[in-house]
Amino acid sequence: MSDLADLFNTLSTLLLRHQSDWRPLPFACTSLPWPELAPVLASLDDASLDRLEQDEAAVHALLAPWRPEVVAALDWRLPELRRAANYATPRWSSGIPGRKWAQICDFGANVDANHPILEWCAGKGHLGRLLALRSGRPVTSLEWNPDLCRQGEQLADSLGLDHRFVCADALAADAAALFTANQQALALHACGELHLRLLRHAAAAGTRAIALSPCCYHLIDGNDYRPLSAAGRRQDPGLGRHELRLPLQQQVTGGARIARLRHIEQGWRLAFDVLQRSLRGQDRYLPLPAFPKQLLSGDFTAFARWACERKGLRLPEPFDPAPWLARAEGRRQLVRRIELVRHLYRYPLELWLLLDRALFLEEQGYWVRLGTFTACANTPRRYLIQASLD
């Protein structure tokens, strides 16, 4: 059994033992799910919660007496992989934000381009272009957006690179034909089903090398995650989209404006939840879909009208938003306390998902390395799975 398999088994046991911590849907809760934590959580006011949300170490210290083995598991850190020697920006990289450029450089620093390259979900092909310039290897970039393909082709032509674009849907069946044995398949932040397809196609084709940084685990076909590895299927914790979103709730960038909008959105969603329970006469949570963020520039009445239209409800006329917003405030405090506990499991759940992918590749005969390829300040999605048949 490999070291990765040992870690996976230990982590699976931990997550199953504590699933009552990370499964609850905060917006659906009307009381704290863990009575034993009520004394410590109830004492936290808004200012304390604000401080704790910015200080993970303080959260760990606060909850360690009640969840010692979970807090200990947060020290199971993956090794740091190579970083770029520098982040000098060539002329063709103009317009790429600084953090994104650092991610591209650091990812590229971990790729030894010994084979032709397939860049999966490439956008304008910035990563592929960097590697083509560095190695001289031919690069094929798959991207579904024709405008991005066109811009990428123009940049490649201006630099005289052997870099072609395939404008196609990565989820279409014929995308599998792009994978060959004598090849390196790469994806920097391919979402959910897109990176799962890459792994399946590459393994089926016997692709020599793979480098993948996963993102957006919840964007899958269907509502329930089907583990890739045999080990994952044996120890399947039963992850739905709700649980798959949990690792993505880590905020590294954004600033005061983003934080303010996040608080407004949370308050309005909870106020609508109180409202819809009254309108429907049912004390049951009714989930809302994603909504246009420009709604947050208006008022709660406009948001409530939009939400009622989506759920087939009729907003009372005239409508006074004040009582609903006031009633939501207590729920908002409850949600923040529940999230404080659930957020302990962001890293363990993401690590479980990463290990499931890594073990799938090991089961296909690949040598696999898992680590962090860039600084946390650049992106929270900084994990890299490298696999090779060499």
Residue 326 resides in a domain: no
Q: According to the model, what pLDDT value does residue 39 have?
A: 92
Q: 254: pLDDT confidence band, cut at 50, 70 and 90?
A: low
Residue 5 resides in a domain: no
Mean pLDDT of 34-55: 91
Residue 357 resides in a domain: yes
- Alpha helix ranges (H) inside 181-254: 192-205, 230-234, 241-244
Indicate the SS3 state at residue 186.
strand
For residue 378, what are the domain limits?
91-248+346-388
CB-based contact 203:387 (threshold 8 Å): no
Residue 38 resides in a domain: no
- Whole-angstrom distance, CA of residue 30 vs CA of residue 326: 15
Residue 351 resides in a domain: yes
Q: Above 70 in pLDDT, residue 132?
A: yes
Residue 313 resides in a domain: no
Q: Mean pLDDT across the chain, nearest whole number? A: 94
Q: Considering all CA atoms of the chain, what is the largest pairwise distance in Å, rounded to the nearest integer?
A: 70
Q: 227: pLDDT confidence band, cut at 50, 70 and 90?
A: very high
Residue 141 resides in a domain: yes
CB-based contact 375:382 (threshold 8 Å): yes
Task: Count structural domains, the chain.
Answer: 1
**pLDDT tens string 16-44:** 999 999 999 998 898 999 999 999 999 99
Using CA atoms of 67, 246, 22, 17 in order, give the dihedral in degrees to the nearest 10. Answer: -70
Q: 290: pLDDT confidence band, cut at 50, 70 and 90?
A: confident
Q: According to the model, what pLDDT value does residue 293 have?
A: 85
Q: According to the model, what pLDDT value does residue 255 have?
A: 61
Q: According to the model, what pLDDT value does residue 257 have?
A: 74
Mean pLDDT is lowest, of 126-135, 138-147, 244-253, for 244-253
**pLDDT tens string 101-116:** 999 999 999 999 899 9
Give buried/exposed letters for 340-359 (b at 16+ CB in 10 A, else e): bbbbbbbbbbbbbbbbbbbb
CATH number of the domain at 188, please: 3.40.50.150
Closest C-alpha among 192, 264, 262, 277 to residue 228 = 192
Q: Taking the model in full, what pTM does it have?
A: 0.91
Mean pLDDT of 241-265: 79
Q: 1: pLDDT confidence band, cut at 50, 70 and 90?
A: low
**pLDDT tens string 141-180:** 999 999 999 999 999 999 999 999 999 999 999 999 999 9
Closest C-alpha among 6, 3, 21 to residue 349 = 21
**pLDDT tens string 297-342:** 899 999 999 999 999 999 999 999 999 999 998 888 899 999 999 9
Q: According to the model, what pLDDT value does residue 249 have?
A: 84
Q: Above 80 in pLDDT, residue 278?
A: yes
Residue 299 resides in a domain: no
